[in-house]
C-alpha cells in the first residue's frame, strides 16, 4: 500500500505577531513547524503502513527550508520525501498550490491513498485537500475521524460532521483530509531521526514536475487579496482568570450583577 501525505511548513502559531501597519503576519524570525493537523495525517499513514505494509511518501511545496518538516516526518516514520521548491511557486494560492501538489503526486503513482491535514493553521482555508483530489481526478472525503476498514481496494471511514459523523465508503485510490480525533501523533523515533538527519533532499523545480508556467505561483493564482486587516478589538472587555470553578463562579456573579441571569 503506497500512501502519500501532504505536509505544510507553517509558522509556530504560539509565536505569531501581526504587523500593525500592513495587517499581515510577521514571518521573519518566527520558527517554522509542521502544520499541526498534518501530524495526524502522517501518523495515520504510518499506522496504515504498519498494518498493511507499503511505503509512506511525504510531499511538500515550499521554500527550501520546508525540507525541515520533511525531516520531521521521516523521524515519525515516513519512508521517502518530495520537496517541490522553485521561486516560480511563490505567491501560490490554494488553486495554484493544489495544481502543483497534484503534479508532484502524479510522479509517485501508483498511489493507494493521499492524506492531507484538515487545514493549515496559517492559510486556514481547508481547500488544498479537495483541490489536490480534483487535480488527480480522485474521489475525496473530508474530515475523516476514523478509518474503519480497508480491504479489496475499498475503504470505509467515519467523517466528522457538525452534529455527529457519517460512515462513507470509497474506492481506492482516494484523497482524504483528517481531523485531530483520528489518532495521537507519535514522538519521532531515534532511528527515524538518524535517517532524517542523513537524508539528502533534492528540491524538484517547476520544470521537473512539468508545471505550466501560467498555472503556478502568483501568476497562476486567481485569488486577489483586496485587503488584510485584524478585526478591531471590541474594547470594554473583562478577563476572568483563575481556576475553572472560580472563573465560573465569578462569571455567574457578574451576569447576575448585570441582571442577565
C-alpha cell at 40: 495526524
Work out whether the CA dihedral 117, 123, 124, 127 comes out positive or negative.
negative
Q: Where does residue 127 rank: exposed (0-12), middle (13-18), buried (19+ CB within 10 A)?
A: middle
Q: Rule CB under 8 A: say whether 123 interacts with another protein.
A: no
CB of 140 to another protein, least distance (A): 31
The site partner of 38 among ligand FAD, another protein, none (C-beta below 5 to 8 Å per kind) is ligand FAD
Using the contact rule CB under 8 A, the part of the chain among 2-10, 20-28, 184-192, 212-220 near another protein is: 184-192
CB of 121 to ligand FAD, least distance (A): 8
Judged by CB under 6 A, the residue of 3, 42, 56, 61 near ligand FAD is: 61
| Cα–Cα dist 130/196, whole Å | 29
C-alpha cell at 162: 457538525
Provide φ and ψ at 155, rounded to 5°. Answer: -140, 135
Binding to ligand FAD in span 183-242, by CB under 6 A: 223, 225
Using the contact rule CB under 6 A, the part of the chain among 60-68, 106-114, 152-160, 189-197 near ligand FAD is: 60-68
Judged by CB under 6 A, the residue of 123, 139, 188, 203 near ligand FAD is: 123
| Residue reference for cell 474594547 | 235
Q: Rule CB under 8 A: say whether 180 interacts with another protein.
A: no
Pick the closer one to another protein by CB: 45 or 103.
45
Q: Rule CB under 8 A: say whether 243 interacts with another protein.
A: no
Using the contact rule CB under 6 A, the part of the chain among 47-55, 58-66, 143-151, 164-172 near ligand FAD is: 58-66
User: Using N-to-C axis directions, what is the helix angle for 190-197 and 67-76, rounded to 10°?
Assistant: 150
201-to-21, 108, 254 alpha-carbon distances in Å: 37, 16, 58
Judged by CB under 8 A, the residue of 187, 225, 226, 258 near another protein is: 187
Instruction: Report long-range pairs for 192-198 (Cβ below 8 Å, ≥24 apart).
Output: 192/74, 192/75, 192/76, 192/77, 193/75, 195/74, 195/75, 196/71, 196/72, 196/74, 196/75, 197/71
Report the half-sphere exposure of 126 (CA within 13 A, side-chain side). 10
Using the contact rule CB under 8 A, the part of the chain among 31-39, 135-143, 182-190, 214-222 near another protein is: 182-190
User: Helix, strand, or coil here: 136?
Assistant: helix
The site partner of 35 among another protein, ligand FAD, none (C-beta below 5 to 8 Å per kind) is ligand FAD
Judged by CB under 6 A, the residue of 3, 32, 35, 173 near ligand FAD is: 35
Query: Which residues, in sequence order, are bridge partners of residue 114?
Result: 4, 175
Q: Rule CB under 8 A: say whether 194 interacts with another protein.
A: yes
Judged by CB under 8 A, the residue of 106, 191, 202, 256 near another protein is: 191
Pick the closer one to another protein by CB: 65 or 189.
189
Task: Please report, as ranges, the residues that interact with another protein according to CB under 8 A.
Answer: 186-194, 197
Amino acid at each position: 500500500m503506497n500512501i502519500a501525505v501532504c505536509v505544510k511548513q507553517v509558522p509556530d502559531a504560539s509565536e505569531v505577531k501581526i504587523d500593525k501597519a500592513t495587517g499581515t503576519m510577521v514571518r521573519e524570525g518566527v520558527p517554522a513547524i509542521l502544520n499541526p493537523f498534518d501530524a495526524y495525517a502522517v501518523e495515520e499513514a504510518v499506522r496504515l503502513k504498519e498494518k498493511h505494509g507499503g511505503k509512506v511518501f511525504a510531499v511538500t511545496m515550499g521554500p527550501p527550508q520546508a525540507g525541515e518538516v520533511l525531516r520531521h516526518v521521516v523521524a515519525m516514520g515516513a519512508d521517502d520525501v518530495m520537496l517541490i521548491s522553485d521561486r516560480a511557486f511563490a505567491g501560490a494560492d490554494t488553486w495554484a498550490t493544489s495544481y502543483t501538489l497534484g503534479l508532484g503526486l502524479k510522479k509517485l503513482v501508483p498511489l493507494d491513498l493521499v492524506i492531507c491535514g484538515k487545514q493549515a493553521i496559517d492559510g486556514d482555508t481547508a481547500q488544498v485537500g479537495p483541490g489536490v483530489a480534483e487535480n488527480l481526478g480522485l474521489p475525496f472525503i473530508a474530515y475523516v475521524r476514523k478509518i474503519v476498514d480497508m480491504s479489496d481496494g475499498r475503504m470505509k471511514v467515519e467523517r466528522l460532521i457538525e452534529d455527529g459523523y457519517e460512515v462513507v465508503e470509497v474506492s481506492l485510490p482516494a484523497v482524504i483530509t483528517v481531523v485531530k480525533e483520528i489518532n495521537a501523533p507519535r514522538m519521532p523515533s531515534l532511528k527515524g531521526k538518524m535517517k532524517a538527519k542523513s537524508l539528502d533532499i533534492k528540491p524538484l523545480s517547476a520544470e521537473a514536475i512539468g508545471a505550466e508556467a501560467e498555472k503556478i505561483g502568483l501568476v497562476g493564482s486567481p485569488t486577489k487579496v483586496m485587503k488584510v486587516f485584524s478585526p478591531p478589538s471590541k474594547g470594554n472587555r473583562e478577563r476572568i482568570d483563575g481556576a475553572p470553578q472560580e472563573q465560573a463562579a465569578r462569571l455567574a456573579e457578574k451576569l447576575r450583577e448585570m441582571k442577565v441571569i
